[in-house]
Amino acid sequence: MRYYTNVQMVGNDFLVRGYENGRSFTLRDDFQPTLFVPSKKKTKYRTLDGKYVGEVKPGNVRDCREFIRSHENIEKFPIYGNRRYIYQYISDKYPEDEIKFDLNNMKLVTIDIEVKSENGFPSVEKCDEEMLLISLLDFSSKKILTFGVGPFDNKDKNVTYIRCVDEYDMLQRFLAYWQQNTPEIVTGWNCTLYDIPYLAKRITRILGEKASKQLSPWGLVTHEEIFIQGRGHLQYDIAGVTVLDYLDLYKKFTYKAQESYRLDYIASVELGQKKLDHSEHDTFKDFYTNGWQKFVEYNIIDVKLVDALEEKMKLIDLAVTMAFDAKVNFNDVFYQVRMWDMIIYNDLKNKDIVIPPKQDEDKSDRYAGAYVKEPKPGVYDWVVSFDLNSLYPHLIMQYNISPETLLDERYRGVSVDKLLNEEVDLSGLKDVTVCPNGAVFTTKKRGFLPKIMDKIYSERVVFKKKMLKAKQEYEKTPTKALEREIARCNNIQMAKKIQLNSAYGAIGNNYFRYYKLANAEAITLGGQFSIRWIENKMNIYMNKILKTKEVDYVIASDTDSIYLHMGPLVETVYKGREKTTEGIVSFLDKICDVELEKYISSSYEALATYVNAYEQKMFMKRETIAERGIWTAKKRYILNAWDIEGVRFTEPKLKMMGIEAVKSSTPAPCRTLIRDALKVILTQTEQDIIDFVEKARVDFKKLPAEEIAFPRSVSNVTKYQSSSGIYTKGTPIHSRGSLLFNHHIKKNKLDNKYNMINNGEKIKFVYLKKPNPIHENVISFINQFPTELGLQKYIDYDLQFNKSFIEPVRAILDAIGWSLEKTATLESFFI
């Protein structure tokens, strides 16, 4: 087993770290990249359009760059090949299809530092506060090494505590250890923007620049300023060491928005654990000054939490799997264009096809997105949803969409609507297929993009089956080997899934080497055509079997799914017969399996025939069977589901989209309340929901400010600062609350206890009753409500409750004709 962990290029040298047969190696390698130029002779290599090219090896990297520079102005002399020489190196040195690796064998550490806060929250830019603690947790052994500047009574056998004389001594000892045990991967929570840059900059300040270079096994440490949401950050690059920030991995690969991305909150959501509470100390300074023992434990728990997240979620394992699959460095997984550029490069290289030089294409034209049907708001009994499988990758396969299969001609007079009505005569198509944007693709040869999509999709199926087989064997005979095989296969199939899902994002990006506007638009309009085609066909089918005319049975459709109203069919079939929920669910399951899915398949065959598709690749399966569904608008619905993808429930599960109960901008207690209210709405009476709301109102008023506040992000709070006042006219309410918070915290000299709200911060805000001490109707805060401002009794609980709970619930009740107010009757006047 041989694999790399990091490849860097410095000048003409390639600096490599990796493993061979379980032993680590470092290598300074020379490498002569390969370029390709047009050839009049028949050669082994061809371009995408079939032209012969010859292999050229100008020499080292500098020679290659000089060769390109000296030939770039020669007409009709394009230079082909991968000019990202690091990736050419990786591809040449590691040609195998699957690079096998062992994450437990790599040096992976979790880092967390603690810093003094004598003058408020320490700034990476200033880097003027002393460091107090550095903790490193080894992923494989679970051993923790903590360097600290004070005494610590260590009772944890997995922790080694090194007491240091002062910060200078601590940094020296840390560096000595690091040099002997330099990790391949470093992770942590927000370590890219805080722990790593603060540590590197502080080492430079205290021990000198030469010392900070020792963080890299190659002695190369650089930094740059990057901007995120308008806020500047210092980012360090340590050559030979990959920083995979767990916060970044979580945001990238979990696909779910959270109201806060602080470690304390995410650990609570994912693990049911929290950081060590230190609320008995008024300030962070008081914490490390008067509670040092607990302060060290607090630091140690942080690295344990990040490690526990990886043990559960395997996001680093996933990232490494994806990197090896694309043959890139580990931190390249955050960039979908780069990933897909290399996936394509390696695939074509195996076929002796050379990649073209990158051409910049104008992307000033906007193109259509996905289709979302406008539903009729209301309540629907018995709803069944159907989903298209991996729509965009399969559209690429169906229409043979690829840069080299796109023809110059355009089929005029074509649109989604005209194709839906079959107004365009396509019977004369030969060796080509047409997309709804008029793009024409040859069907004489299969494009490289469809081939890759098909390959990745097939590989995902293979590894998913392997994973399931290993799981079955594990149930009978649990072994460590099977456990590793399950994790390996699951990560590979997840990597393939993410690759497929990210393909369209790369294809529609004008920085992509193979970007073509016509291809991107062909995919999105092809998706519109497919989903609207099946909507029409399902309505024809339902009207026929129910003997109705022009009734719309498709409640909603969204990109790759439709929602079918089956209540009328259930009423017809069960008229005069005993109905049970279980019986109806089984009936609908059977009807979908035996009748509807076959009808859908034949309908898509007809579509493929009509457009003369390369192959029929639209596969739609039943997903959800729900007893009741409520729609309030596009992408806003609730389903009371009894069966999802063949999994039958003993109690119904709520499935929802766009409802405040699933929005991270809704206070957490209200999300729970809304979910509970929805269960009442879906299963009980109007009076029951009225009673529920009244009780919820009473309970809500007992909650602290931190729980009822609205979570938000402030992207550019400084934009609204006023030179004459606190904020400018028209400032959004959460930004206004943030500026007010900063102003009054400074005014009351509380900035040693509370961090200032900066651009890109996750905050919370509450409405205030007036008059109050700050003469405003809002205040924001980061995590802890500033009680010192004396505003608790002015929090407008009624307004908070109305906006965070009543308004979203009322929107649902309006859709079904219910009210939250008790209706007076004539009889009530005589009671």
Reported as a single tens digit per residue, the pLDDT across 37-74 is 999 999 999 999 999 999 999 999 999 999 999 998 89
Same domain, 143 and 218: yes
User: How far is Cα 543 from Cα 541, in angstroms, rounded to an integer?
Assistant: 6
393 domain-assigned? yes
C-beta separation of 414 from 450 below 8 A: no
C-alpha span between 216 and 222 (Å, rounded): 10
Q: What is the CATH number of the domain that holds 47?
A: 3.30.342.10
* Residue 161, C-beta contacts closer than 8 angstroms, at least 6 positions apart: 146, 148, 152, 154, 296
pLDDT band at 487 (very low <50, low <70, confident <90, very high): confident
* Residue written as token pair 């002779």: 41
Closest Cα partner for 671 from 644, 705, 711? 711
User: What is the rounded average pLDDT of the residues 773-782?
Assistant: 96
pLDDT of 546 reads 97
Q: 539-568, pLDDT tens digit by residue?
A: 999 999 999 999 999 999 999 999 999 999
Q: Which residues of 588-597 are buried (b: 16+ CB within 10 A; e: fewer)?
A: bbebbeeebb
User: Per the structure block, which two tokens stand in for 402?
Assistant: 């690829």
Length of the chain: 831
Helix (H, G, I), strand (E, B) or coil at 324: helix
**pLDDT tops 80 at residue 230:** no
Residue 821 has pLDDT above 80, yes or no: no
Spell out the long-range contacts of 775-781 with Cβ–Cβ below 8 A and sequence spacing 24 or more. Answer: 776/736, 776/740, 778/733, 778/734, 778/736, 778/737, 778/740, 779/737, 779/740, 779/741, 779/744, 780/712, 780/714, 780/734, 780/737, 780/738, 780/740, 780/741, 781/709, 781/741, 781/754, 781/757
Same domain membership, residue 458 and residue 399: no
Whether the bond between 33 and the residue before it is cis, its omega within 30 degrees of 0, is no
556 and 414 share a domain? yes
Q: How many domains does the chain have?
A: 5
Report for 359-368, 485-494, 677-686, 821-830: range of highest mean pLDDT? 677-686
Distance, in Å, from the CA atom of 764 to the CA atom of 780, rounded to the nearest integer, reads 5
**Type of residue at 50:** G
Q: How far is Cα 740 from Cα 751, in angstroms, rounded to an integer? A: 13
Q: Is the domain of 559 the same as that of 427? A: yes
Q: pTM of the predicted model, to two decimals?
A: 0.86
User: Does residue 318 sit within a domain?
Assistant: no
Please identify, among 658, 673, 695, the residue that sits at the C-terminal boundary of a domain: 658
Together in a domain, 38 and 173: no
Residues 562 and 502 in one domain: no
pLDDT category, 823, cuts 50, 70, 90?
low
Q: Looking at the domain assignment, is residue 663 inside a domain? A: yes
The Cα 238–Cα 200 span in angstroms is 9
Does residue 824 have a pLDDT over 60?
no
Amino acid, res. 85: Y
Q: What pLDDT score does 203 carry?
A: 98
Please give the residue that has the higher pLDDT: either 238 or 226: 238
Report, as an integer, the average pLDDT of 815-823. 83
Residue 718, SS3 per DSSP: helix
Q: Are residues 194 and 253 in the same domain?
A: yes
Task: Specify the pLDDT at position 363.
Answer: 55
Among 700, 718, 717, which Cα is nearest to 709's?
A: 700
Please tell me the distance from the alpha carbon of residue 632 to that of residue 657, in angstroms, as a whole number. 11
Mean predicted confidence (pLDDT) in 779-796: 95
Q: Which pairs with CB-CB distance under 8 Å and at least 24 residues apart come from 569-574?
A: 569/382, 569/542, 569/545, 570/381, 570/382, 572/546
What CATH number has the domain bearing residue 609?
3.90.1600.10
Mapped onto helix, strand or coil, the DSSP state of residue 750 is coil
User: Do 137 and 30 belong together in one domain?
Assistant: no
- Residue 535, domain member (yes or no): yes
Q: pLDDT > 70: what percent of the chain?
A: 98
CB–CB of 377/633 below 8 Å? yes
Alpha-carbon gap, residue 672 to 259, rounded angstroms:
14
Q: Are residues 351 and 387 in the same domain?
A: no
CA distances from 712 to 4, 64, 274, 734 (A): 41, 50, 21, 7
pLDDT in tens, 701-755: 999 999 999 999 887 788 899 988 899 999 999 999 999 999 999 999 998 888 8
Quick check: is 329 in a domain?
no
Quick one: 666 exposed, middle or buried, by C-beta within 10 A (0-12, 13-18, 19+)? buried
The answer to whether residues 146 and 162 touch, using CB atoms and an 8 Å cutoff, is: yes
Q: 11 vs 485, which has greater pLDDT?
A: 11
For residue 39, the model assigns a pLDDT of 96
* 830 pLDDT higher than 60: no
Let me know whether 602 and 652 are in one domain: yes
Q: What is the C-alpha to C-alpha distance for residues 364 and 366, in angstroms, rounded to an integer?
A: 6
Distances (CA, A) of 646 to 289, 554, 701, 704: 58, 21, 42, 42
- Contact yes or no for 181/145 (Cβ under 8 A): no
440: pLDDT strictly greater than 70: yes
Contacts 24+ apart (CB under 8 A), 8-16: 8/86, 8/218, 8/220, 8/239, 8/240, 9/61, 9/85, 9/86, 9/89, 10/218, 10/220, 10/239, 11/61, 11/62, 12/60, 12/61, 12/62, 14/85, 14/86, 14/89, 15/218, 15/220, 15/239, 15/240
Q: Which one of 247, 282, 313 terminates a domain?
A: 313
Residues 237, 382 within the same domain: no
The CATH number given to whatever domain includes residue 685 is: 3.40.1820.10
Q: Please give the C-alpha separations between residue 44 and each of 37, 51, 67, 342, 445, in angstroms, as whole numbers.
A: 13, 11, 22, 21, 19
Task: Output the pLDDT for position 361.
Answer: 56
- Identify each DSSP E strand in 457-594 by its residue range: 554-558, 561-565
CB 734 within 8 A of CB 710: yes
What is the domain extent for residue 136?
103-313
Provide the pLDDT for residue 364.
57
Which of the 8 DSSP states describes residue 680? H
Looking at per-residue pLDDT, the higher value among 826 and 592 belongs to 592
Domain annotation covers residue 320? no
Please report which confidence band the pLDDT of residue 228 belongs to, taking 50, 70 and 90 as the band edges.
confident
> Mean per-residue pLDDT for 251-274?
89
Compute how many other C-beta atoms are within 10 angstroms of the C-beta atom of residue 33.
Answer: 23
pLDDT, tens only, 742-775: 999 999 999 888 889 988 788 999 999 999 999 9
Exposure class string for 10-27: b at 16+ Cβ within 10 A, else e:
eeebbbbbbbeeeeeeee
Give tens-digit pLDDT for 354-407. 999 987 655 555 677 888 999 999 999 999 999 999 999 999 999 999 999 999
The confidence score (pLDDT) of residue 360 equals 64
Q: Are residues 616 and 686 in the same domain?
A: no
- Given 616, 633, 658, which residue is the final one in a domain? 658
CATH code of residue 267: 3.30.420.10
Give the tens place of pLDDT for each residue, 146-156: 999 999 999 99
Query: Is 654:665 a contact under the CB 8 Å cutoff?
Result: no
